[in-house]
């Protein structure tokens, strides 16, 4: 039972780092830390066709042999933070359950 609980927690933590946007975000951060900053660009729509007049984009880049396409910073970051937020909360609950099971004196 203990190994199963810990393995479920391990799989949840792996799930956090397996999202497509997580790999893009990780590559963006690492490229900016170790090579050169991927500067965001601002775009203004004067046609009135887009919902928002201004948008910020992360440029396309390549990191460790993988190409990453240009993305809207807002959509990209909101989507990934929402995904990670839910998974981190779930992992936290699972960790509390594992600790409660293994350490009877544990109070969370």
Alpha-carbon gap, residue 26 to 72, rounded angstroms: 16
pLDDT in tens, 61-94: 999 999 999 999 999 999 999 999 999 999 999 9
pLDDT-based confidence at residue 2 (cuts at 50, 70, 90): low
- Tokens standing for 30? 């690492």
Would you call 66 helix, strand, or coil by DSSP? strand
| Residue 1 clears pLDDT 60, i.e. is over it | no
CA angle (53 as vertex; 47, 57 as ends), nearest 5: 110
Mean of the pLDDT values across residues 32-38? 89
Mean of the pLDDT values across residues 2-6? 75
* 33 closest CA partner among 69, 63, 68: 63
pTM for the structure as a whole: 0.75
């Amino acid at each position: 039972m203990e190994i199963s609980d810990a393995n479920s927690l391990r799989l949840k933590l792996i799930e956090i780092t397996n999202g497509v946007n997580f790999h893009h975000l990780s590559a963006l951060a690492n490229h900016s830390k170790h090579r050169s900053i991927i500067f965001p660009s601002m775009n203004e729509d004067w046609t009135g066709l887009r919902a928002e007049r201004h948008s910020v984009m992360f440029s396309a880049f390549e990191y460790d042999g993988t190409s990453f396409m240009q993305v809207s910073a807002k959509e990209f970051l909101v989507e990934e933070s929402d995904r990670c937020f839910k998974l981190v909360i779930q992992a936290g609950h699972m960790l509390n359950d594992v600790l409660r099971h293994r350490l009877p004196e544990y109070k969370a």
